[in-house]
Amino acid sequence: MKKLFTAVLFLCVGQSLWSQITITKNDMPSIRDTVRYSLTNTNINVNATGPNMRWDFSNLIITGQAIDSFRSLLSINPLYILSFGLQDYGIRATNVLNTQLLQISNQYNFYKKTNSYLSIDGTGAEFNGIPLPSAYTIEDKVYQFPLTYARMDTTPYDVKITIPGFGSLHQVGTRYNNVDGWGKVITPYDSFDCIRLRAYTEEVDSITIDALGTSIGIPRNSLTYQWLANGQKIPVVEVSGTKQFNTFVPNRRRFRDNYRAVPPQFALTADFRANTTNCYTNAIVVITNRTRPTVQGTKYRYTITPSTFNFVGGTSDSSASPKVNFTAPGLYTVSLHVESPAGGSSPAVGDTTKVDYINVSFPAGIEDVATASTLEVYPNPVSDILTVRSAETINSVTLINSIGQKVMTRSADSKSLSISVKAYEEGTYLLDIETNAGHQIRKVVIQ
């Protein structure tokens, strides 16, 4: 009996250690809470997720610290109580829209916490010193409880800020939440049982100017990954940024922390500039490092996609300022990862990505040669079978997509060739046709 009891106890403890957690209203902040967090530029892998994960972020290097303060509306501006009451708390907004046409300040989001959800149900801002309380006509449900693994929620939101004598700012969006992982996360602060939340928002901000009778719409899509733990009030790790052409570009990484003395030299800004961002194939582009600060021993790593290029002039992907020869047309995305000993005993880390930064095309003369040739490519546009006929023998045909990738190559030894294009996505392609007379290029539209 004693052995059976011990075995049952062991199984129960084991199950407790590996069980999934649930996030509820009780894990959220309350009025007058203050929570410290640290900022970092260290890469955080947001792609690894799923059940029973172990996320080890213990190597995060701190670049600065700040505090989230959850204030009562009375302490922000007593006038806001008339619109939102005493039960909500306010926190500085991160989705403020300031343009040359409109400058607003001191914007706060006002939160409502219930057993079912945590939502933003109002916002307050100042325009020329005038407070502008605005209630959401459709509240933004940031979290819906209980938050458990595999829960997915889609919620719209809508708020309009009326600005006297100017017009209005109208924010309309949809939030897509997906709890896509659970396990343990480790940070320099502590380790936590957690769930991982992927939150994506699609938003359009419309500025209406009464005097002009016009409205300007500005899309603002954002993507945030959060690791949430019981009793921590804010995500213990959070990576936020934008989604550009299906590529996630982080612009802030932070984690819950206690006070630390952060040396100012940890702040590292990775940057670069190309001598041209529009060129022809086989041109050499010089990418100049503009990282600050730069000290002896700094390490660089460039990543360029697609891979139809070569480093030349004795440079490589680890050169501070490489020289690049692009061998195919397309839009090239360039990323730079920097590690600098400027931080002292731990290296400072910086990253930057410039999406579709360099546009490479064929020289105009190539297209002229193709036009003047006896080559026929039809039908164009094409949806089924593409036919290539030439007065010269065709040796090979290569289909190249809009980002410079070779998606198909066919060898031939005839003056006529038929190609099925059903397997390829709609869009504009380049067809590189090699004949006994040389290479000729044609633009082909697949529809």
Per-residue pLDDT of 341-357, as tens digits, reads: 655 445 678 889 998 88
Res 5 pLDDT > 70: no
Q: Do 237 and 272 fall into the same domain?
A: no
Of 361, 378, 399, which one is at a domain's C-terminal end? 361
Q: Do 165 and 142 fall into the same domain?
A: yes
pLDDT of residue 6: 41
Q: In what order do the strands lie in the sheet with 299-305?
A: 278-280, 348-361, 330-340, 299-305
Q: Do 136 and 70 fall into the same domain?
A: yes
The answer as to whether 14 is a domain residue is: no
C-alpha distances in Å from residue 137, one per residue of 72, 170, 171, 189, 227: 22, 11, 11, 39, 29
Per-residue pLDDT of 155-189, as tens digits, reads: 999 999 888 877 888 899 999 999 999 999 999 99
Q: Do 289 and 151 fall into the same domain?
A: no
C-alpha distances in Å from residue 181, one per residue of 148, 150, 173, 185, 256: 9, 7, 25, 11, 19
pLDDT of residue 342: 56
What total of structural domains would you count in the chain? 3
Q: Do 160 and 75 fall into the same domain?
A: yes
The answer as to whether 5 is a domain residue is: no
Q: Do 24 and 125 fall into the same domain?
A: yes
Per-residue pLDDT of 357-388, as tens digits, reads: 888 876 644 443 444 457 788 888 888 888 98
Q: Do 195 and 234 fall into the same domain?
A: yes
The answer as to whether 242 is a domain residue is: yes
The answer as to whether 2 is a domain residue is: no
Per-residue pLDDT of 188-242, as tens digits, reads: 999 999 999 999 999 998 888 787 777 888 888 899 999 999 999 999 999 999 8
pTM: 0.58
Distance from C-alpha of 442 to C-alpha of 447, rounded to nearest angstrom: 16
Distance from C-alpha of 327 to C-alpha of 340, rounded to nearest angstrom: 32
Per-residue pLDDT of 81-110, as tens digits, reads: 888 877 678 888 765 555 445 567 778 899
CATH number of domain containing 282: 2.60.40.10
Other C-beta atoms within 10 Å of 268: how many?
A: 23
Distance from C-alpha of 201 to C-alpha of 352, rounded to nearest angstrom: 22
The answer as to whether 36 is a domain residue is: yes
Q: Do 150 and 292 fall into the same domain?
A: no
Of 214, 234, 256, which one is at a domain's C-terminal end? 256
Cβ-count burial 289-319 (b if 16+ within 10 Å, e if not): bebeeeeeebebebebbbebbebeeebeeeb
The answer as to whether 11 is a domain residue is: no
Q: Do 270 and 217 fall into the same domain?
A: no
State in Å, rounded, how far the first CA of the chain is from the last one: 74
pLDDT of residue 56: 95
Most confident of 82-96, 176-190, 243-257, 317-331: 176-190
Q: Do 282 and 401 fall into the same domain?
A: no
Mean pLDDT value across residues 117-127: 88
Q: Do 293 and 369 fall into the same domain?
A: no
Element (H, E) at 376: strand 376-378
Cβ 175 vs Cβ 154: under 8 Å: yes
Stronger pLDDT, 432 or 310, i.e. the higher one? 310
The answer as to whether 13 is a domain residue is: no
C-alpha distances in Å from residue 184, one per residue of 16, 17, 55, 181, 256: 13, 10, 6, 10, 15
The answer as to whether 160 is a domain residue is: yes
Domain that holds residue 288: 264-361
Among 249-258, 304-313, 329-338, 367-376, name the one with the lowest average pLDDT: 367-376
Q: Do 125 and 68 fall into the same domain?
A: yes
